[in-house]
Amino acid sequence: MTSAEKTLCNPANGVYIESIGYIDGALHILTRYDDIAHTDNHGYIDLVDKNGKVMGEKTEISFSYWDSAHQNSYTEQIIPVSYDMLDECKLKGEFVTAQGYTSGDWEITFPLE
């Protein structure tokens, strides 16, 4: 199975929600950030109530998996919340990506005083 076949959604360019599950009193969200060496893709997802208030204190577990092309990074967010409250909540995310990757033999210099 390819990653495209198991992706739940693609909320931003290079950002893929791979899985969501409820385990041991918390919502777990696994996000894949594609090609971070060139795009610095990153972000977060919050669980918000119907008034937009963020639910639960989020724990983020970051780990990297580098395939043969050194492209993918995965982040798991764990949000403690009662299962009964999930139907009243929405996921809200903010993601950052840089499209202007610069490569080549270059350097940044600046004077020190």
Task: Give, as one character, the DSSP assignment of residue 16.
Answer: E
**HEC letters along 53-86:** CECCCCEEEEEECCCCCCCCEEEEEEEECCHHHH
- The residue whose two tokens read 């739940």 is 8
Domain at 3-96, CATH class: mainly beta
Mean pLDDT, range 83-112, rounded to an integer: 84
- The residue whose two tokens read 């610095």 is 40
Q: Is the pLDDT of residue 1 over 90?
A: no
Distance CA 34, CA 97 (A): 10
Higher model confidence: residue 108 or residue 10?
Answer: 10
pLDDT number for residue 92: 92
Mean pLDDT, range 106-110, rounded to an integer: 81
- On whether the CB atoms of residues 70 and 6 are closer than 8 A, the answer is no
Domain positions in the chain: 3-96
Q: What is the pLDDT of residues 12-58, one digit of tens each?
A: 888 999 999 999 999 999 988 888 777 888 888 999 999 999 987 77
pLDDT number for residue 17: 94
